[in-house]
Structure 1
Amino acid sequence: MSASIVFLRRLALLAAALPGIACAQDVLVRNATVHTATARGTLTANDVLVQGGVIRAIGPALAAPAGVEVVDAGGRPLTPALFGGITDIGVEEVSGEAATVDSAVKLEDQPQRPEFDVTLAYNPDSVLVPVARVEGIGFTALGANSGGGFIAGQGGVLRLDGSADPIGPRMLFVRMGAAGSELSGSSRAAQWMLLDQMVAEARGRIAADSPHALLTPAGRAVLARYLGGSGRIVVRVDRAADIRQLLRWAGREQVRVAIAGGAEAWRLAPQLAAAGVPVFVDALSNLPASFDQIGATLENAARLHAAGVPVAFSQDGDASHNARKIRQLAGNAVAHGLPWDAALAGLTRVPAQAFGVADRIGSIAVGQQADLVLWEGDPLDVGHYAERMWLGGRAVPMRSRQTELRDRYLRGSATPPAYRR
């Protein structure tokens, strides 16, 4: 048997051995510094009562109903479960192993496939889910990646509570600028030409049976829904000139867009604020990694927020395996001028609002699902950690494949180290 097969079998056994989220429970978190991520702000020495997986009361010195577990926070921070960014968690296990990556579609005949829905491949048992949860991450936007076309396809919000289905409306992912030019005739100008043709098809201005049609019947129907305001179009774009064209297009077509990346978004902050366009920034983007990012700055988030732009966070690069670094992004944005409360909102309320799920998650408020994290210290300081977590009122085991391996090799175990004869 090959070493790779042995490794995969051991990995599967370890994943199966990790316990899932405990049964639903009622809990009273007492004497916490409650960061609500709402207009109420931060409440000191407050209690949060959870019953039936829902927050029922918030206030000082709440009475504990019979049978409810009481957790003394000792003044430590309590936040909503955090947003992990736009990721491939659950549709990618090992980026270098094609059989484990389901985030993109590449079809030669008609490469633009807005009907592609990456959430259909989501695996709630992915080993990446508990790796993210132990860092206080409770939900993510599962995004489609560009394969054969710059119209990547659809994604959705997944709660990392073991459920298999997304919540809220779907979103359509598009890649513009230099990163998508190779998928549009090697010119970013052609992206707008092709996009205008697809809009004309979806709106019926080009016959469905045209020999030059770019979309399938299903693709036209899906794009028409987004053009009609059902769901948000998330555009991966960095250069200010491309963002300007995007705002003009969105205004002309009356569609709701969000920006992922936006390294130069600060240059158009007033226009973005006026249009109500949220920006998911990589707050560590500071160098001109490409000609689209010459204006990158660590003050991007602060400048956008100061202008009134809704700011959230997401990572460039390997966001799925490094979702835990999302707190580092927010903390660095604070270090470069973003108010602390705005940074927390960018990991909680703002993404929930942008993706249409703020009525369920993203804040600590009566009636919300009890997705909560109790922290040992400042949640935006990576020197501190999540102590306890509840998703829908259910306690989450603060263990993952990584912590199991850490404990095995640091403290010793009855199980011998791998490969020992």
Structure 2
Amino acid sequence: MPAFAGMTALVFSLLSGIASAQDLLIRNATVHTASARGTLQNTDVLVKNGRIAAIGSGLPAGNAAVVDAQGKPLTPALFGGVTDIGVEEVSGESATVDSTLALGAGAADMQVRPEFDVSLAYNPDSILVPVARVEGIGWTMLSAGTRPGGSLIGGQGGVVRLDGSMDAIGPRALFVTLGGDGARLSGNSRAAQWMLLDQLIDEVRGRIPPESKFALLTPAGRTALAKYFGGGGRVVVHIQRAADITRLLRWSKQRGVNIALLGAAEGWKVAAQIAAAGVPVFVDALANLPADFDSLGATLENAARLHAAGVKVSFAQFNDASHNARKIRQLAGNAVANGLPWDAALAGLTSVPASAFGIGGEMGSIAIGQRADLVLWSGDPLDVANIAQQVWLDGRAIPMRSRQTELRDRYLRPDNGLPRAYPAH
């Protein structure tokens, strides 16, 4: 404990005057690059103008501020999962929830609006942003969800960095819900999902004219969907059952659609097929018991079995993922405990999702030219007993404070004679 406290004091004293600095030298770190270079011991990382400029030993600092990592782990800033951070503040208050679109009353007048882009509602001042960020989370993929009155196509989401910027980066992704969860959005039959998807492709490709009374898309919707159903943008499909995954793989290959799987509780059953298709998978590594009839084959070894088959594995939560984004580290650590190699688990929090969402050239690893989105940890980042000691985004030291830490500090301070709700003066 004294060594940990000393390290913390050292880091914060060095950073107290450089909160806005972009030139930085982190010395003597255990650098987990999340790249082909693997883990580098006793290594320095030099940051210039917000980008990683050099990685090696004994690097000259020049005018850069220096932090001695004392051998502690340094990783890329972590992926927070597929969440509603910044588009959902209080889930029980509809005025603060912008993640889903509902138009129409049912399947008969279903509104398919793939042009809906949830990132346009992102609030960088959300309380959830610093709560996730102090735990080492640097970015997330915003999800366009589905709900009754909507369709099996939720809309588009985008990657947002938790650095206070407002706009999403990189290409958008289209979110689709299939299987049992999607049946209520497709006339209460999963068989109808393939019928509807094929009709949408017919509309995009001009086989159903826009003026047809059977058309489901607006002009803007046809333009938006053409990007995804033409083999371009990533289509993220929430799906669980092995049989449904197999049909999706066949359908996407025949139609030229670039998919990723979200959930895939039974993905291990068809891991070889997923690997052959080159499809990344975002799993809940804590799913062990059947939540419904689509996930009867759920197992804690899902991530390990998928990886062993050659699948690129990342992670996602499905229970309050936005307010508890920090728990994604627990998912990765749990996957390691059940057979996933440690390096593959770290990649699942960094380079795998960055590549899947088209931003691998910018972030997701510690490599020259990448954004300097970095986290210095007290110990193994996949062990929840350890903490993020400092987060840097574009080389800028992020204040390690959130609404939760402020409440903690208020109610742990010495009694000043006033009720705890009153701040000290």
Return the alpha-carbon distance in structure 2 between the equivalents of residues 264 and 407 of structure 1: 44
Cross-structure match for 1:5? none
Cross-structure match for 1:239? 241
Return the alpha-carbon distance in structure 2 between the equivalents of residues 375 and 330 of structure 1: 16
1:34-73 matches, within 5 Å, as: 34-65=31-62, 67-73=63-69
Asked if 1:134 is matched to 2:134, the reply is yes
Q: Is the 8 A contact 1:110 1:216 kept in 2?
A: no
Return the alpha-carbon distance in structure 2 between the equivalents of residues 80 and 188 of structure 1: 40
Q: Is the 8 A contact 1:284 1:332 kept in 2?
A: yes
Return the alpha-carbon distance in structure 2 between the equivalents of residues 82 and 126 of structure 1: 19
Match of 1:349 among 335, 351, 359: 351
Give the drift of 1:317. Answer: 1.8
Return the alpha-carbon distance in structure 1 between the equivalents of residues 239 and 251 of structure 2: 14
Cross-structure match for 1:33? 30
Asked if 1:418 is matched to 2:421, the reply is yes
Return the alpha-carbon distance in structure 2 between the equivalents of residues 198 and 175 of structure 1: 15
Cross-structure match for 2:77? 81
Return the alpha-carbon distance in structure 2 between the equivalents of residues 365 and 322 of structure 1: 29
Structure 1 counterpart of 2:282, one-letter code: F
Which consecutive residues of structure 1, in runs of 5 or more, have no partner in the other structure?
A: 1-20
Match of 2:20 among 13, 20, 23: 23
Which consecutive residues of structure 2, in runs of 5 or more, have no partner in the other structure?
A: 1-17
Match of 2:317 among 304, 315, 319: 315
| 3-state SS in 2 of match to 1:90 | coil
What TM-score comes out, normalization by structure 1 length?
0.93
Give the drift of 1:418. Answer: 2.7
Q: Is the 8 A contact 1:280 1:311 kept in 2?
A: yes
Give the drift of 1:413. Answer: 7.0
| 3-state SS in 1 of match to 2:29 | strand
Structure 1 counterpart of 2:307, one-letter code: H
Return the alpha-carbon distance in structure 2 between the equivalents of residues 305 and 351 of structure 1: 14
Q: Is the 8 A contact 1:169 1:230 kept in 2?
A: no
Give the drift of 1:68. Answer: 1.1
Return the alpha-carbon distance in structure 2 between the equivalents of residues 413 and 299 of structure 1: 49
Return the alpha-carbon distance in structure 1 between the equivalents of residues 21 and 203 of structure 2: 48
Cross-structure match for 1:92? 88
Cross-structure match for 1:123? 123
Cross-structure match for 1:170? 172
| 3-state SS in 2 of match to 1:83 | strand
Return the alpha-carbon distance in structure 2 between the equivalents of residues 25 and 81 of structure 1: 16
1:331-350 matches, within 5 Å, as: 331-350=333-352
| 3-state SS in 1 of match to 2:202 | helix
Q: Is the 8 A contact 1:136 1:389 kept in 2?
A: yes
Give the drift of 1:410. Answer: 1.4
Cross-structure match for 2:187? 185
Cross-structure match for 1:12? none
Return the alpha-carbon distance in structure 1 between the equivalents of residues 204 and 275 of structure 2: 28
Asked if 1:154 is matched to 2:150, the reply is no
| 3-state SS in 1 of match to 2:208 | coil
Return the alpha-carbon distance in structure 2 between the equivalents of residues 403 and 412 of structure 1: 16
1:265-304 matches, within 5 Å, as: 265-304=267-306
1:208-247 matches, within 5 Å, as: 208-247=210-249
Q: Is the 8 A contact 1:235 1:258 kept in 2?
A: yes
Return the alpha-carbon distance in structure 2 between the equivalents of residues 22 and 145 of structure 1: 36
Give the drift of 1:248. Answer: 0.7
Cross-structure match for 2:11? none
**Alpha-carbon spacing, 1:134–1:413, altered in 2? closer, same or farther (3 Å):** farther
What TM-score comes out, normalization by structure 2 length?
0.92
Give the drift of 1:156. Answer: 0.6
Return the alpha-carbon distance in structure 2 between the equivalents of residues 216 and 166 of structure 1: 24
Return the alpha-carbon distance in structure 1 between the equivalents of residues 422 and 297 of structure 2: 49
| 3-state SS in 1 of match to 2:141 | strand
Structure 2 counterpart of 1:194, one-letter code: L
Q: Is the 8 A contact 1:47 1:59 kept in 2?
A: yes
| 3-state SS in 1 of match to 2:400 | coil
Q: Is the 8 A contact 1:235 1:259 kept in 2?
A: yes
Asked if 1:366 is matched to 2:368, the reply is yes
Give the drift of 1:229. Answer: 2.7
Identity of aligned pairs, percent?
70
Q: Is the 8 A contact 1:24 1:392 kept in 2?
A: no
Give the drift of 1:307. Answer: 0.5
**Alpha-carbon spacing, 1:413–1:359, altered in 2? closer, same or farther (3 Å):** farther
| 3-state SS in 2 of match to 1:329 | helix
Return the alpha-carbon distance in structure 1 between the equivalents of residues 178 and 22 of structure 2: 45
| 3-state SS in 1 of match to 2:336 | helix
Match of 1:251 among 245, 250, 253: 253
Structure 2 counterpart of 1:380, one-letter code: L
Structure 2 counterpart of 1:144, one-letter code: A
Cross-structure match for 2:5? none
Deviation >6 Å, runs of 4+: none
Structure 2 counterpart of 1:405, one-letter code: L
Return the alpha-carbon distance in structure 2 between the equivalents of residues 166 and 416 of structure 1: 42
Return the alpha-carbon distance in structure 1 between the equivalents of residues 422 and 411 of structure 2: 13
Give the drift of 1:252. Answer: 0.5
| 3-state SS in 2 of match to 1:384 | coil
Give the drift of 1:416. Answer: 4.3
| 3-state SS in 2 of match to 1:292 | helix
| 3-state SS in 2 of match to 1:161 | coil
Cross-structure match for 2:99? 103
Return the alpha-carbon distance in structure 1 between the equivalents of residues 45 and 415 of structure 2: 39
Aligned length: 400
| 3-state SS in 1 of match to 2:353 | helix
